A = this chain, B = another copy of it.
């Protein structure tokens, strides 16, 4: 894909054909495993992309916040899981009640206290929602230890909530050598929690897991559905984890070389691009080679990122690109990059064919 002439930089470009291929491939792989696909739309926040995912067979969507749920419900989503341990006060309860009037809403829960707050705030509406208990499968962020899940389930039931499943996010799969281990821990945690709940008399209909690195490794012995997000676009993290190939990268940031320096023994040989952290996002895991990658220059390294500057150190044996040249940058973490822009340019055959609004950008509440 070349950068269309009419693009001013920095700008997010999405290759429509690669996007569709990524959507179709994940749908096929997940269905072949006997699982349902409930993609996490916090990655793209774009209703048009959710429609493509649903058209490819997704059973519903996953969101992280009430605000995201409101945006996607407003664009026709009819089955939404808020995969987050919501703290529900009166204002959140009112928003949940309004959402549930037209949409099937499931919510996450990971403590007795949150169950009590949710039940008290929702009142009679509490039983309108499916509640999925969040299990810690090794990421050690939120989530209940699998062995402690029955206590929380009883608290939820006492609060009038309908416990119908368990979910986990194997976030520790985002590191080299971790996807298989994280998948096995996910299987073990979901199975243990689900068995304990069943023994305690709960009917567990949903076992929800999966991330982009693990979604196609999970089998139906562990889960009934998976919730990958990043796979629609892929990003430099997935590339460096070898969970995708360069031709699977659907989203890049078009950037211009604004500064160029041959360097010397002390000062690095480098170019500076106008794609800083205000469009790439600042995420940089310790194992990453830098703050993103250049799609067409795999040996280049983004060694530093300021708000409007990406400093790119160049291989010693390759000529520096000229000033004014336009390059395609792959963000490290695509979910935070998309959240920085109001719309994205959709490209096919080297031309801009559409603009999509990032309708749920900034919906953090």
Q: Is residue A156 contacting chain B, with contact meaning CB distance below 8 A? A: no
Q: Which of A143, A256, A259 has the most CB of B within 10 A?
A: A259
Q: Is residue A31 contacting chain B, with contact meaning CB distance below 8 A? A: no
Mask, A69-84, CB within 8 Å of B = 1, is 0000000000000001
Q: Is residue A8 contacting chain B, with contact meaning CB distance below 8 A? A: yes
- Cα A101 to Cα B9 in complex, Å, equals 24
Q: Is residue A350 contacting chain B, with contact meaning CB distance below 8 A? A: no
Q: Which of B8, B304, B307 contacts A336 (CB 8 A)?
A: B307
Q: Which of B87, B268, B308, B362 contacts A84 (CB 8 A)?
A: B308
A341 touching B362, Cβ below 8 Å = yes
A113 touching B282, Cβ below 8 Å = no
Q: Which of B91, B110, B117, B259 contacts A259 (CB 8 A)?
A: B110
A141 touching B309, Cβ below 8 Å = yes
Q: Is residue A42 contacting chain B, with contact meaning CB distance below 8 A? A: yes
Mask, A333-348, CB within 8 Å of B = 1, is 1011001111000000
When distances are taken between beta carbons in the complex, the residues of chain B under 8 Å from A140 are 267-268, 270, 311
Shortest CB-to-CB span from A109 to chain B, Å, is 10
Beta-carbon nearest neighbor of A343 in chain B: B362
Beta-carbon nearest neighbor of A140 in chain B: B267
A87 touching B274, Cβ below 8 Å = yes
Q: Is residue A279 contacting chain B, with contact meaning CB distance below 8 A? A: yes
When distances are taken between beta carbons in the complex, the residues of chain B under 8 Å from A141 are 259, 272, 304, 306, 309, 311
Q: Which of A276, A323, A333 has the most CB of B within 10 A?
A: A323
Q: Is residue A10 contacting chain B, with contact meaning CB distance below 8 A? A: yes
- Cα A342 to Cα B363 in complex, Å, equals 10
Beta-carbon nearest neighbor of A12 in chain B: B364
Q: A140-B267, A309-B142 are in contact. Are A278 and B364 (CB under 8 A)?
A: yes
Q: Is residue A123 contacting chain B, with contact meaning CB distance below 8 A? A: no
| A-B complex: 9 closest residue pairs judged by Cβ atoms | A142-B259, A282-B282, A113-B323, A282-B283, A64-B308, A142-B272, A85-B258, A8-B365, A87-B258
Q: Chain A: residues with CB nearer than 8 A to chain B?
A: 8-11, 42, 64-65, 84-87, 89, 91-92, 110-111, 113-114, 117, 136, 140-143, 145, 171, 256-261, 267-268, 270, 272, 274, 276-279, 281-284, 304, 306-309, 311, 322-324, 333, 335-336, 339-342, 362, 364-365
Q: A10-B365, A141-B311, A340-B362 are in contact. List 8 more A-B contacts (CB 8 A).
A: A65-B308, A114-B258, A140-B268, A282-B284, A282-B336, A307-B336, A340-B340, A342-B362
Could you give 12 example pairs across A and B, Cβ below 8 Å? A42-B307, A42-B308, A114-B258, A140-B311, A141-B272, A142-B259, A142-B309, A277-B281, A278-B362, A282-B282, A307-B339, A340-B340
